[in-house]
Amino acid sequence: MEGFPMASGPLNGVKVLEFTQIIAGPMSCQLLADLGADVIKVEPPGGEPWRLNAQFIPLESKTYAGLNRGKKSLAVDVGSPKVQEAIHRLVKEMDVIVINYRPDVAKRLRIDYDTLAGIKPDLVYMDNTAFGREGPWANRPGYDIVVQAASGLMSSVGKVDKDGTPLVPPAFADTTTAYSMALGVCAALFYKAMTGKGQRVETSLLVNALTTHMSAFMSLPAADGDTREMFLKALEDARASGMPYADFLELRNEMMRRQAGGNVYYRAFLTSNGAIAIGALSKGLRDKVRAALNIEHNRDEPDYNPLDPAQIEADKQLRA
């Protein structure tokens, strides 16, 4: 965005050419600009779609401004052969390329890794896609909402309207991917500083969405026992039966509570004078919660079993 001073920082002097739009890519390059990089954002003459979202002046929107701070803008038609030749000349002066096009689109526009690395072999090329570069979904487009649905992240948030329709959650896949992209660029630049070699760094919205599931996405027999397979089987049977989405979410959430022992010390509660949030993940903090509420609970006793039916009921009463 012209008129804004460039930041100084550890990436001062690093030149970045950005071919991204919407959230993940622009946010990652904004992070690089915040660290001092000189970022040139390439977008079509009419502006990328986020410019056109609720414009407050022609071709400017709050959503765009919030993700493109500290950049320069280059408005060109990348589909033009003459523009492609100009970009190839510009690439010779760049350190980093950041792109979030589908693999087939990047190749058609002659801004794929093989083409640009042939022009500048030590280039760091950050390549983000929706579903990865390989596999049956490699060339599929996908925004955050689609990837959240495909990855199960949307059901983890678990919000529905009064009719049971899933509500659109915040752009978790996009924002986690943005930080992953910026980290990947910094790591590749560090490697280049040590070896003189560039490389392509890959990530995807799907990979980052799956990462947010953390241990829930893992299979660890020593810890899971038979409960994980029972959990997955129950969900598969519910889906096969055509269970309504809202009911499916409630089943999933109840089974998750059972697996995690309900975790009554890490949740929000509705009280007589408003909602409160409690986060007590150590015995010392849980002791303080029990003392403040003047209650007794056996969460930290050696015989505590979150899967015991009596314990499940006791934890449910405590949550109530």
- Give yes or no for residue 210 having a pLDDT over 80: yes
Q: Are 86 and 168 in a shared domain? A: yes
Contacts of 297 (CB under 8 A, 6+ apart): 264, 290, 314, 318
Give me the catalytic one of 127, 144, 174, 315. Answer: 174
- The enclosing domain of 133 has a CATH number of 3.40.50.10540
Give the pLDDT score at 197.
98
Whole-model pTM? Answer: 0.87
Residue 262 pLDDT exceeds 60: no
The neighbour count for residue 238, using CB atoms within 10 Å, is 16
**Mean pLDDT across 124-139:** 95
Same structural domain for residues 203 and 93? yes
Q: What does each C-alpha distance from 179 to 185, 226, 303 come to in angstroms?
A: 10, 36, 42
pLDDT digits 0-9 by tens, 265-286: 888 888 889 999 999 988 899 8
Residues 80-124 have pLDDT tens digits of: 999 999 999 999 999 999 999 998 999 999 999 999 999 999 999
How many domains does one find in the chain? 3
Q: 203 pairs with which residues across the strands? A: 128
**Which residue range forms the structural domain that includes residue 155?**
15-211
Asked if residue 140 and residue 44 are part of one domain, the reply reads yes
Q: In this structure, is residue 3 part of a structural domain?
A: no
Same domain assignment for residues 91 and 207 = yes
Position 258 scores a pLDDT of 62
| C-alpha to C-alpha distance for 179 and 67, rounded to whole angstroms | 13
Tell me if 269 is assigned to some domain: yes
The percent of residues in the chain predicted with pLDDT above 90, rounded, is 60
- Please check whether residues 172 and 318 belong to one and the same domain: no
**Could you give the CA distance from residue 100 to residue 18 in angstroms, rounded to a whole number?**
9
Is 9 inside a domain boundary? Answer: no
The per-residue pLDDT for range 19-70, each reduced to its tens digit, is: 999 999 999 999 999 999 999 999 999 999 999 888 899 989 999 999 999 9
Mark whether 293 and 207 lie in a shared domain: no
Tell me what pLDDT residue 1 has. 46
114 is catalytic: no
Q: What is the mean pLDDT of the chain?
A: 89
65 within a domain of the structure (yes/no): yes
User: Burial of 77 by CB count in 10 Å (0-12 exposed, 13-18 middle, 19+ buried)?
Assistant: exposed
Distances (CA, A) of 289 to 107, 271, 274, 293, 317: 58, 15, 18, 6, 16
Residue 1 in domain: no
Q: Backbone phi, then psi, for 22, in 5-degree steps?
A: 70, -110
